[in-house]
């Protein structure tokens, strides 16, 4: 399983954002509180029903609060035939600490 730090993700977004799909797997109330700009919310429990909404031709970055739910989703997606899946280590919490100090934390 590939992982990225928040700083590495920032670099990827800055240099190659059109080939990335930022998949936020948290709950809607968490996403409303804070999220990485450009990310798409598909809550973890809905992933099996929404596989068609996740592109196979882009690098999918799986994101949650601390990186555990997103890791589970990333592993699930690999089992469903997705090839380019990367988990954001530390989740949006790490993003708020390392990249965007103005992002609300919880």
Tens-place pLDDT, residues 53-80: 999 999 999 999 999 999 999 999 999 9
pTM of this prediction exceeds 0.85: yes
> 19-66 pLDDT, tens per residue?
999 999 999 999 999 999 999 999 999 999 999 999 999 999 999 999
* Domain assignment present for 104: no
Give the CB-side neighbour count of residue 10, counting CA atoms within 13 A.
Answer: 12
Place of tokens 């997103």: 70
Catalytic one among 9, 20, 64, 96? 64
Give me the CATH number covering residue 20: 3.40.250.10
Q: Which residues contact 15 (CB under 8 A, 6 or more apart)?
A: none
Q: pLDDT tier at 16 (50, 70, 90 boundaries)?
A: confident
Residue 17 has pLDDT above 90, yes or no: no
64 labelled catalytic: yes
Contact by Cβ (8 Å): 5, 13: no
Q: pLDDT tier at 1 (50, 70, 90 boundaries)?
A: confident
* Domain assignment present for 7: yes
Q: Alpha-carbon distance 6 to 30, whole Å? A: 18
Give the range of the structural domain holding residue 24, as residue numbers without chain letter. Answer: 2-98
Q: What is the pLDDT of residue 79?
A: 97
* Domain assignment present for 103: no
């Amino acid at each position: 399983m590939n992982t990225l730090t928040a700083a590495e993700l920032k670099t990827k977004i800055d240099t190659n954002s059109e080939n990335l799909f930022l998949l936020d797997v948290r709950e809607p109330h968490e996403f409303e509180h804070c999220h990485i700009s450009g990310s798409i919310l598909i809550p973890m429990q809905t992933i099996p029903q929404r596989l068609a909404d996740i592109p196979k031709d882009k690098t999918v970055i799986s994101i949650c609060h601390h990186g555990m739910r997103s890791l589970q989703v990333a592993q699930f997606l690999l089992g469903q035939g997705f090839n380019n899946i990367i988990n954001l280590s530390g989740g949006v919490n790490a993003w708020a600490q390392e990249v965007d100090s103005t992002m609300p934390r919880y």
